[in-house]
Amino acid sequence: KPTSKYSEQEASDTAQQLRKTLNQWGKDYYTKDNPEVEDSVYDEKYRDLQELEAAFPSIVTPESITQRVGGAVLSGFTKVRHEIPMLSMGDVFSKDELVEFDNRIQKNVGYPVDYNVELKIDGLAISLVYENGKLVRGSTRGDGTIGEDITKNLQTITSIPQTLTKPVSIEVRGECYMPKQAFADLNKQQEERGEAVFANPRNAAAGSLRQLDTRVTKARKLDTFIYTISTFDNLQVTTQHEAIETLEELGFNTNPTQRICRNLDEVWEYIDDYQAQRDQLAYGIDGIVLKVNDLDLQGQLGHTVKVPRWEIAYKFPPEEALTVIREIEWTV
C-alpha cells in the first residue's frame, strides 16, 4: 500500500513488523554469516521502512535499524572500542537518486565538488591500528562503536603489513574480502567434507575472519583493500584520492580503480565501465562509492547517526535481475 495511505497507527504497526523482519535477517547475516535472503530482498524491505519513517517521523525509534549500524560482536572475542565510530553507508539504486545526492552536496557546500569514485568491495570492514609503524590492533566494525579484536586473525593475511614503510602512528580502515577463486575452492571443499557452503564471498570472508582458531583464517586466502586513513599523524593528505596513494606508499594493498570525477557524467562513465567488467574482476563488488574528495569538506558535511553525509553507494542491480535485463536486451 502507498505510504500516503497509511494512518499513523497503521504506519507504526507496519514499521514494527518491518523492523522485526529486518532484525531477524540482520542476525542471520551479521552473527551467523548465513543470510536467510538475498541482499536485494533485504534492501527493498529496508527501503520500505525508511520511506515509512520519513513520512511519519514520530514513529522513528532509536532502536530502529535505520538509526544504528547493523552488526554484532561475537562472544569469544575481546571487545574493542572505536574512538571514531565505524559507520554504515547510505545507498542509492538509480541515476535520479544519484542526482539528488549531488544536489544535496552542492546545496550544502555552495558549489560543485569533485568526487573520488571507488569500487564497493563485497567484504567486511576492518580497522587496523599502527603505533610507530607497527601493527598493534585489528578489529571488525561490530555495531560501529564496539568491534571484535581480531588482530591475530588479521596477522595471517599476507597483504596486511606488520610494519609500515614509515614509523607513523595511525588508524586505517578498509575491506577484507575473499577472492572469487578462493570462495569457489572453499565451497567445493566444504561440499566434499559434507559441511555447509557459504552463501556468498562476503559471508565467507566474515565467517573466516571471526574464527577463534587462526589456522582456519590462514587457510582461507583472504585479501584486503585499504581505503581510509582515520587518524592522520603528520601525513600531508588533503583529499581522499591522496589518502589512497599514501596508503599504497605506506605498504597497504589499495584498489587501483579509484578515479576523480568532476561531474555526474564522469561518475556515470565509471559506473558503466565497472558494471561491464564486474564479472572479470577477481573479487566481488556490489556497486561503487562516491566520496567528496576534499577531506575538509567531508569534515564540514559530517554524518548522521548512521552514515556519513559526504559519501554514497550506488548499488548495482542484483545479478539475477541483470541477467533478466540482458535477456530482454538480446530479445529486443
40 is in an annotated binding site: yes
* Residue 128 grid coordinates: 587496523
The C-alpha atoms of residue 168 and residue 188 are separated, in whole angstroms, by 42
Q: Which of 35/147 has CB closer to ligand NAD? A: 35
Q: Is 175 annotated as a binding residue?
A: yes
Q: Does 48 bind ligand NAD (CB under 6 A)?
A: no
Sole binder of ligand NAD in the list 11, 14, 18, 25 (CB under 6 A)? 25
Residue with cell 571507488: 118
The site for ligand NAD, by CB under 6 A, has a size of: 26
138 binds ligand NAD (CB under 6 A): no
Nearest Cα neighbor of 119 from 331, 275, 15, 307 is 275
Which span sits near ligand NAD by CB under 6 A: 6-14, 35-43, 97-105, 241-249? Answer: 35-43
For residues 172 and 251, is the Cβ–Cβ distance under 8 A?
Answer: no
Using the CB atoms, write b or e for 182-200: b if 16+ within 10 Å.
bbeebbeeeeeeeeeebbb
Residue 192 CB, shortest distance to ligand NAD, in Å, is 26
Kindly report the backbone phi and psi dihedral angles of residue 233, in degrees, each rounded to the nearest multiple of 5, phi listed first: 50, -135
User: Taking CB under 6 A as the rule, does residue 88 contact ligand NAD?
Assistant: yes
Active site residue 120: yes
Q: Exactly one of 20, 120, 166, 221 is catalytic; which is it?
A: 120
User: According to the binding rule CB under 6 A, does residue 19 interact with ligand NAD?
Assistant: no
Residue 177, amino acid: Y
Give the three cell numbers for residue 245.
Answer: 596513494
Q: What residue ranges bind ligand NAD (CB under 6 A)?
A: 25-26, 28-29, 35-39, 42-43, 69-70, 88-89, 91, 118, 120-121, 124-125, 141, 175, 227, 289, 313
Name the residues annotated as catalytic.
120
